[in-house]
Amino acid sequence: NTASETKEETKLPKVASAPEVTNIIEPHKGLNQPPVPLKMERVGENEVNVEMTSQITDIEISKGNMYKAWTFNGEAPGPVVVVKEGDKINFTLKNMDPSIPHSMDFHAVHAAPSKDFIDVMPNESGTFTYPANKPGVFMYHCGTKPVLSHIANGMHGTIIVMPKDGYPNDGEIDREFVIVQNEWYKYNDLDDMTNGVPTNVVFSTKALKEGQLNTNGTASGLVDTPLIAKVGDRVRIYVNNVGPNEVSSFHVVGTIFDDVYIDGNPFNHMKGLQTVMLPASGGAVVEFTVTKEGNYPIVTHQFNHATKGAVAILKVTKD
C-alpha cells in the first residue's frame, strides 16, 4: 500500500527544475549584488527617513533553481517597512541596477504617481516625500514599465502602517509574523507572466524586529524552517498578497481566525473566518489562537498554488 502511495507522489510536477536557457538581459549577466540592508531612521515624532535600493540579486526559488531577481535591497519580496499612521515618509531609492530604471509605488501613501513614483535612472538616486495617513497592510512595488515584468521579477514587498490607536486586541497578542505571498514565472518572460500560469507560488516571512526570521519567497523555505509559537498563544499575522496576477485564499490549518481586519484597517472587522480572500495587492491582519502542540500548515487554499509552494509551517511547542 505504501508503494502505491509513493508512486503516486512521484507524479508531482517538477517545479524546481532550472531553465536551461534564460532571458537574462546582457548587463545583468554575472551580476549578483549582495543584499543592502534597508535604512530607516525616525527623524521626528511623525517623520521617518527610509532608504532602499533597487538591485540585481540571485534568489534560490527552490532547490537548485536560481532566479536573477530584480529586487529591493536584494530580497524578493523586499524588506518589510513599518511606519506609524500619520508619518511623513522621506523616501530615497538608490538604483544600483546598471541598466534599467526602477521606481517605487507605496500603496500606503498619497502621492501623484507621475511625479512621486517616477523612474530613477541606473546608478542614480531619487528622493520623494509623502504622507502615510491610513493604517494598514499595504503592498509596495516598482512601477516602471512594463510594470508586470518589474513586479514578477521580484520588485514587490509590504509596508505596514501601524494604526495610531492600535488594533483592538494589541494587548493579547503573543506572536506577530509577516507573511507575503508572491508568484514566480519563467525567467523574465513577459509572455509567460501575461498568459501563463505561475511556475511557483510562494510564501516568505519578514522580520518585524532584528534577529527574527527573514526569508525570500521560496518554494519550501517556511516548511524547512518553520515559524514558532507556544501552546495558548494568540498569534497575529500581517499578510499581503503581492501577486502579480493571482488572488489568494489565505488559511491556517487547525484554527479559525478570531479576528480579521481587511487591508489591515481596524474599521474593516470580520470574525470567525476560516479563510480570508485577498485580491492581488490586498492585505489583512489575522489573529488566531493555537491550542495544542503540533505543526499547523499555513496555505493559500487555492490548492494548485499550495502545490506550487505556498505552504508555511507554524510549529507550536509546549514550552
Site for Cu ion, residues 70 to 129, rule: CB under 5 A: 102
Would you count residue 144 as binding Zn ion (CB under 5 A)?
yes
Quick one: 70 or 238, whose CB is closer to Cu ion? 70
Question: Segment contacting Zn ion (CB under 5 A): 22-30, 57-65, 119-127, 268-276?
Answer: 268-276
CB 45 to a second copy: min, Å? 21
Question: How far, in Å, CA of 233 to CA of 237, rounded?
Answer: 12
Residue 275's binding partner among a second copy, Cu ion, Na ion, none (Cβ under 5 to 8 angstroms by kind) is: a second copy
- Choose, by CB under 5 A, the member of 47, 58, 60, 192 that binds Na ion: 192
CA dihedral 275, 281, 285, 290 (to 10 degrees): 40
Quick one: 15 or 213, whose CB is closer to Na ion? 15
CA distances 291 to 150, 225, 235, 281, 296, Å, are: 41, 21, 11, 31, 11
CB 210 to Na ion: min, Å? 30
Would you count residue 103 as binding Zn ion (CB under 5 A)?
no
The three grid cell numbers given for residue 55, joined into one nine-digit string: 538591485
Would you count residue 149 as binding Cu ion (CB under 5 A)?
no
Residue 142's binding partner among Cu ion, a second copy, Zn ion, none (Cβ under 5 to 8 angstroms by kind) is: Cu ion
**Run of H or E residues at 128:** strand 125-132
Determine contact, residues 77/241, Cβ cutoff 8 Å.
no
Residue 181's binding partner among a second copy, Zn ion, Cu ion, none (Cβ under 5 to 8 angstroms by kind) is: none
Segment 283 to 312, residues that bind Zn ion, using CB under 5 A: 289
Question: How far, in Å, CA of 103 to CA of 98, rounded?
Answer: 14
Question: Segment contacting Zn ion (CB under 5 A): 35-43, 144-152, 208-216, 244-252?
Answer: 144-152
Pairing relationship of beta strands 65-72 and 81-84 according to DSSP bridges: unpaired
* Closest by CA position to 60, among listed 200, 196, 178, 180: 200
CB 77 to Zn ion: min, Å? 19
CB 48 to a second copy: min, Å? 18
CA distances 222 to 119, 165, 194, 296, Å, are: 34, 32, 28, 12
Residues that bind Zn ion (CB under 5 A): 5, 100, 144, 269, 289
